[in-house]
Amino acid sequence: MPPLAGAWVTAYYAGWFWDWHSTVAEAVAAVDMSTMTHFVFGRYAPGAGTSGGSPGQMVEAAGTAHAYVETPLISSAHSAGTRALAMLGGTGDGAGFMASTAASTRATFIKNILDKCVAKNYDGVDIDWEDGLDTPESQSRLITFLGELRSAAAARPRYQAPNDPFIITLPGYAVNINIDLPVPAWKATVASLVDQYNLMTYNLTWGCCGWDTWLATPIRDAAPTHPMSIESSIQAHVDAGVPRSKLGMGMGLFASGYAPPVTGPRQPMSVEYFWPDSLATWAALYRAGMLSPSAFVFDTAAQAGYYSYSSPRTFLGDSVGMLITEDPQSIAAKGAWTKAGNCGGTIVWTINYGYVGASLGNPPMQAIKQAFR
């Protein structure tokens, strides 16, 4: 497979939604692998986690997607020169990771991960250990696990020359400048052990303490009353010793919104709607007419856009004055910021959410391709 150049686009596919399509062929064709550098199939879970199983197992957690679309999607990725990774874990799987990385089970867990990756022809794994990392013991286990996984993978012929080495990616969190500084040293150690340390910098809105309304994924302008941005989150990790080239930002192809009278950012907080991701997808917003160009406003200070409605719109039964999601202009700004050397790439949650149909394809993923590739 040819070497990759430029910024990475590591995009997640939620396998449990594959049957939004009527056939396997349609589901596979809906994913344009040329829009990304790394395709992440979701998901597997650590044994004794959210999907059951015994400690040390790698448990299938994407329903029928494993039987129908996992292998065709991996093949499609490779045909496009895109790397294919297995997502392992997710929200709530901290207990499973703790059980599976104990001294008595860690070697078995690593063997099971690599056996599965070789059998399925994955190029690597995305370790989605998102919770339960607030103790020195859990942090130490993650660090030991990552180091041993890397060493064990290097002993497998599938990940030896002339093949590419095993890829390990891991998602981290955005930084709230009010409470999260400085970034602790253990996170810099974790970043040193992976190929991509991607910050989940989406939905950076807060309903707290007299704070302002804010934007979905602003690049700049974090302040005490809207304390999160891509720039400040990346900088905090750089200050902790993580190279910019190891760090990625995050984009979410889903939406949240504010009730009237709010029509823009930096206004007094009102009711905020956090709709289920699978309902408030970019595609659903498009079909509902929520993404009207006449309603779009680009915030030059934050370098991010939003939709402002002079007359409230109704979405999922809620009255909306301001809607926040990704849009082509904001995506273009993120691509330019990345290509200027500020970080190594981006993650996208999820590919599925942007697909409108066979005629239009996946507009946000196409915008990401244009901006980042």
Tokens 């910098």, located at residue: 201
SS3 sequence, the chain? CCCCCCCEEEEEEEHHHHHHCCCHHHHHHCCCHHHCCEEEEEEEEECCECCECCCCCEEECCCCHHHHCHHHHHHHHHHCCCEEEEEEECCCCHHHHHHHCCCCCHHHHHHHHHHHHHHHCCCEEEEECCCCCCCHHHHHHHHHHHHHHHHHHHCCHHHCCCCCCCEEEEEEECCCCCCCCCCCHHHHHHHHCCCEEEEECCCCCCCCCCCECCCCCCCCCCECCECCCHHHHHHHHHHCCCCHHHEEEEEECECEEECCCCCCCCCECCCEECCCCCCCEHHHHHHCCCCCHHHEEEECCCCEEEEEEEEEEEECCEEEEEEECCCHHHHHHHHHHHHHHHCCEEEEECHHHHCCECCCECHHHHHHHHHHC
In a domain, 186, yes or no: yes
Q: What number of residues does the chain have?
A: 373
Give phi and psi for 371, each to the nearest 5. -80, -35
Domain range for 79 is 8-253+325-372
Number of domains in the chain: 1
Strand partners for 361 = 357
Q: Residue range 297-310: average pLDDT?
A: 98
In this predicted structure, the answer to whether residue 287 has a pLDDT above a threshold of 80 is: yes
In a domain, 167, yes or no: yes
Q: Of 351, 291, 343, 280, nearest to 317 (Cα)? A: 280
Give the list of residues 6+ apart from residue 17 with CB closer than 8 angstroms, or none. Answer: 278, 350, 352
In a domain, 265, yes or no: no
Specify whether the backbone of 180 is left (phi greater than 0), alpha (psi in -120 to 50) or beta: alpha
In a domain, 280, yes or no: no
**Residues 255 and 282 sit within 8 Å (Cβ to Cβ):** yes
In a domain, 180, yes or no: yes
Question: Which pLDDT score is estimated for 118?
Answer: 98
Q: Is 84 exposed, middle or buried (0-12, 13-18, 19+ CB in 10 A)?
A: buried
Q: Of 90, 97, 9, nearest to 43 (Cα)? A: 90
In this predicted structure, the answer to whether residue 3 has a pLDDT above a threshold of 70 is: no
Percent of the chain with pLDDT over 70: 99
Per-residue confidence band for 2, with pLDDT thresholds at 50, 70 and 90: low
Average pLDDT, the chain: 96
How many Å apart are CA 297 and CA 268, to the nearest integer?
A: 18
**17, two tokens:** 């939604």
In a domain, 320, yes or no: no
pLDDT, one tens digit per residue, over 149-192 is 999 999 999 999 999 999 999 999 999 999 999 999 999 999 99
Give phi and psi for 76, each to the nearest 5. -65, -40
- Poorest-confidence range of 64-68, 70-74, 86-90, 264-268? 264-268
In this predicted structure, the answer to whether residue 5 has a pLDDT above a threshold of 80 is: no
Question: Which pLDDT score is estimated for 6?
Answer: 79
Question: Which pLDDT score is estimated for 209?
Answer: 80
pLDDT, one tens digit per residue, over 9-34 is 999 999 999 999 999 999 999 999 99
Which CATH number is 77's domain given? Answer: 3.20.20.80
**Residues 326 and 291 sit within 8 Å (Cβ to Cβ):** no
**3, two tokens:** 């070497």
* C-alpha atoms less than 13 angstroms from C-alpha of 124 in its C-beta half-sphere: 25
pLDDT, one tens digit per residue, over 77-121 is 999 999 999 999 999 999 999 999 999 999 999 999 999 999 999
In a domain, 146, yes or no: yes
**23, two tokens:** 């056939």
How many Å apart are CA 266 and CA 284, to the nearest integer?
A: 26
**Residues 308 and 219 sit within 8 Å (Cβ to Cβ):** no
In this predicted structure, the answer to whether residue 272 has a pLDDT above a threshold of 80 is: yes
In a domain, 95, yes or no: yes
